[in-house]
Amino acid sequence: MNLYTIRVTGMTCDHCAATIEKTLNQLPGASAKVSYDDALAKVSTTGSINVKRMLDAVRAKGYGAELLDTLKGDGQERIPSVGKTAPSNRKAGNGLHVAIIGSGSGAFAAAIRAVDAGAQVTLIEAGTLGGTCVNVGCVPSKIMIRAAHFAHAQAAGPFHGIANRPAQVNRASLVAQQQQRVEELRVAKYQNIVNANPGINVLQGYARIKDNHTLIVKRTDGRETQLRADRVLIATGASPAIPPVPGLKESPYWTSTDALVAKELPQHLVIIGSSIVAVELGQAFLRLGSMVTMIARSKVLFREDPAIGEALAEALTGEGMKILTHTETRSVVHRDGVFQVETSAGVVSGDRLLVATGRRPNTTGMGLEEIGVKLDERRAIRVDDHMRTGVPDIYAVGDCTNQPQFVYVAAAAGTRAAINMTGGDATLDLTTMPAVVFTDPQVATVGLSEAEAHLKGIETETRTLTLDNVPRALANFDTRGFIKIVAEAGSGRLLGVQAVADQAGELIQTAGLAIRNRMTVDELAGQLFPYLTMVEGLKLCAQTFRKDVKQLSCCAG
């Protein structure tokens, strides 16, 4: 009889051990006992058995397997392990078990990188695989916004030779097409990755952190599973924040999640808030045929440079949206299918109410404060540039943290967190993080605003170029908006760019690269830009630091 000892990695509970034990016992002549606590499988055989076959059987179930030693015959002769990799050739994460709470972009970026480093990963998800972006955020909202763009172009195009006609909108059909694409992307970018990667396991349930290496997962059937991990990553995202307005919680208000899948268009949509979600969805519903009133406690996009909010508000009101700025929402009453929203500017009535006052981190009920994880005033997890929480072996990324709430930030943070969890050293630099609001015109920013630069003690020189100076905008018959460059006084070094323009999101990355490479306005002005593109506006704005572009011919270098 031969006795084999196999180290098994990636087990997350006693059920995993039972699964592996059953698998090994199905091999001819094998009798196995698997211990979850010891992460070991003891296999005795009555005859010759291919060791590789045992290891492959375990690995086929999605676990790591490594032969430690063998006792042969009477148990006295020790045979060296076969196929054991020398430590110098092993991946840094070999043998590690990484538990990730959440399954959005940050979670998946971390999972993929951790597995690449040799770790076994368990994703713990209480809801739908894929998180906010693909399911109820970026993807469905951009599809809706694009559809609304086509409806608007048909109804209010700028070209005299093409008749404008109100678009005939079938909202239910649009939603069906939108959700089909959402499902396709969820399967392709999330479910198929899990299916094809034996190093990633998914556990359905709600997770609570008992200590920095132990999680309690409440399963959908009410059972609790204790999960042990070498590293824990929190990537739970955020949810719509609901303000404490009297009567609001008792009413059938919409969040963005509800609005995106609504199969009927409101006659009059009232929006509480002036956030990114508010302006994007507000304009989309407006263009699809609804009346829209926005109630803004301050101004439109009040966290941005004031000129941005003013330009966007002008564009939205120009299309027919009513915007009540510096207006307090005092109460909400819903009766007979009508919302009566009492504000400091009077009562606003509508058949639908969208609450778009920002998002709150999903950090409640996880036991974070009990184990020492620090939260800020929004209850967001405080992390450093290595995505560490301050509690050993616990990391966090994405919208549940104090990092900016953008999916690409979450994904970049997830990758770097995985590098750090598996023995590497990676940081996340957000100094040239681009941001885009997908209204029309779009809003795009990168680097420092003028006010932010002054707070850092940097003297600035700025120029603002209106789009009636940009040939592409003139050719489009759409000169709404501007491009603004913030530069360091004296040196001319680029510090930041803000733009309100058609396709502003496409030009902002060029600005980000220029800032990253510490270019000056003169160096940017001297670059070759293709004529009749919106990004040429960057060059023209840079040129205004030295000359009057109104006095230049087309393509003037």
pLDDT per residue as tens digits for the range 439-471: 999 999 999 999 999 999 999 999 999 999 999
Q: Are 134 and 156 members of one domain? A: yes
Are both 333 and 409 inside the same structural domain?
no
Angle, helices 105-116 vs 407-421, to 10°: value is 30
Report pLDDT digits (tens) over 143-164.
Answer: 999 999 999 999 999 999 999 9
Task: Choose the catalytic residue: 4, 16, 144, 541.
Answer: 16
CA angle 42, 46, 51 (to 5 degrees): 55
State mean pLDDT over 182-195. 96
HEC readout, 112-128: HHHHHCCCEEEEEECCC
Contact between residue 311 and residue 291 where contact means Cβ atoms under 8 Å apart:
no
pLDDT of residue 215: 97
pLDDT at 80: 33
> What is the extent of the structural domain holding 302?
256-357
The size of the chain, in residues, is 557
Count of helices and strands (H, E) across the chain:
16, 27
Q: Which of 308, 334, 357 is the last residue of a domain?
A: 357
- Closest by CA to 299, choosing from 285, 311, 286, is 311
Which of 339, 357, 375 delimits the end of a domain?
357
3-state secondary structure of 265: coil
Q: What is the pLDDT of residue 7?
A: 83
- Window from 14-23, 98-107, 255-264, 274-283 with minimum mean pLDDT: 14-23
H helical segments located in 360-447: 407-421
pLDDT band at 82 (very low <50, low <70, confident <90, very high): very low
385 and 499 in a single domain? The answer is: no
Average pLDDT, stretch 78-96?
48
Query: Are 301 and 309 contacting, i.e. CB atoms less than 8 angstroms apart?
Result: yes
Helix, coil or strand: residue 50: coil
CA distance 521 to 506: 20
329-337 average pLDDT score: 98
3-state secondary structure of 215: strand
- Structural contact between residues 115 and 418, judged by C-beta atoms closer than 8 angstroms: no
Structure tokens at 33: 């006992």
Report the pLDDT value the prediction gives residue 86, as an integer from 0 to 100. 32
What pLDDT, on a 0 to 100 scale, did the predictor assign at position 37? 72
Is there a single domain that holds both residue 229 and residue 280?
no
Band the pLDDT of 320: cuts 50, 70, 90.
very high
CB 41 within 8 Å of CB 9: no
440 shares its domain with 336: no
In a domain, residue 533? The reply is yes
Co-location of 517 and 410 in the same domain: no
User: Into how many domains does the chain fold?
Assistant: 4
Residue 6, judged by CB atoms within 10 A of its CB (0-12, 13-18, 19+), counts as buried
* Residue 555 lies inside a defined structural domain of this protein: no
Give catalytic status of residue 13 as yes or no: yes
The rounded distance, in Å, linking the Cα atoms of 179 and 135 is 9
Strand, helix or coil for residue 208: strand
Supply the DSSP symbol for 221. T
Instruction: Judge if 215 and 103 occupy the same domain.
Output: yes
Closest-CA residue to 71 (of 125, 2, 129): 2
Of the candidates 241, 210, 239, 240, the residue with the CA atom closest to the CA atom of residue 227:
210
Which band of pLDDT confidence, cut at 50, 70 and 90, is reported for residue 70?
Answer: low
> Does residue 61 sit in the same domain as residue 166?
no
The closest alpha carbon to 227, from 239, 219, 235, 237, belongs to 219
Residues 233 and 104 in one domain: yes
Structure-block tokens of residue 56: 């492959």
Residues 112 and 197 in one domain: yes
Closest CA to 400 of 109, 409, 392, 391: 409
Task: Give the pLDDT mean for 379-390.
Answer: 97
Taking the C-alpha atoms of residue 466 and residue 311, their distance in angstroms, rounded to an integer, is 11
Domain boundary among 388, 421, 454: 421
Out of 4, 36, 63, 206, the active site residue is 63
- 251 domain-assigned: no
Give yes or no for a contact between 272 and 354, defined as CB atoms under 8 angstroms apart: yes
CA 199 to each of CA 62, 124, 426, 472: distance values in angstroms, whole numbers, following the listed order: 6, 14, 22, 50
Q: Is residue 70 part of a domain?
A: yes
The predicted-structure confidence for 248-294, as pLDDT tens digits, reads as follows 999 999 999 999 999 999 999 999 999 999 999 999 999 999 999 99
138 an active-site residue?
yes
Report the candidate in 429, 420, 431, 430 with the shortest Cα–Cα distance to residue 388. 420
Write down the pLDDT at residue 77: 32
**Residue 43 domain-assigned (yes or no):** yes
Residue 90 has pLDDT above 60, yes or no: no
pLDDT grade for 64, boundaries at 50, 70 and 90: confident
Whether residue 271 sits in one domain with residue 224: no
Residue for token digits 């009927």? 264
What's the pTM value of the predicted model, to 2 decimals? 0.83
Order of strands across the sheet that contains 120-125: 200-204, 120-125, 97-101, 231-234, 394-396
Report the SS3 class of residue 489.
coil
373 located within any domain: yes
Annotated catalytic, 16? yes
CATH number of the domain encompassing residue 168: 3.50.50.60
**Active-site position among 54, 133, 144, 519:** 133
CATH, residue 62: 3.30.70.100
Residue 145 DSSP SS3:
helix
Strands 346-350 and 482-488: unpaired
Q: Which CATH number belongs to the domain containing residue 543 in this structure? A: 3.30.390.30
Distance CA 521, CA 546 (A): 9
Q: With cut-offs at 50, 70 and 90, classify the pLDDT of residue 71.
A: low
Q: pLDDT at position 300, please?
A: 97
How far apart CA 428 and CA 457 sit, in angstroms, is 24
Residue 162 CA to residue 363 CA, distance in Å, equals 53
What average pLDDT is seen over the chain?
A: 92
State whether 211 and 350 are in the same domain: no
CB 307 within 8 A of CB 484: yes
| Mean pLDDT on 537-548 | 95
Is 292 in a helix, a strand, or coil? strand
Task: Give the pairing of strands 394-396 and 231-234.
Answer: parallel
**The pLDDT value given to residue 556:** 61
Residue 317 within a domain: yes
Residue among 98, 70, 206 at smallest CA distance from 422: 98
- Residue entry with tokens 């009636």: 468
Please name every residue paired with 97 in a beta bridge, in sequence order, or none if there are none: 120
CA triple 492-498-500, angle to 5 deg:
140
From 1, 4, 11, 321, active-site residue: 11
Asked about 541 being catalytic, the answer comes back as no
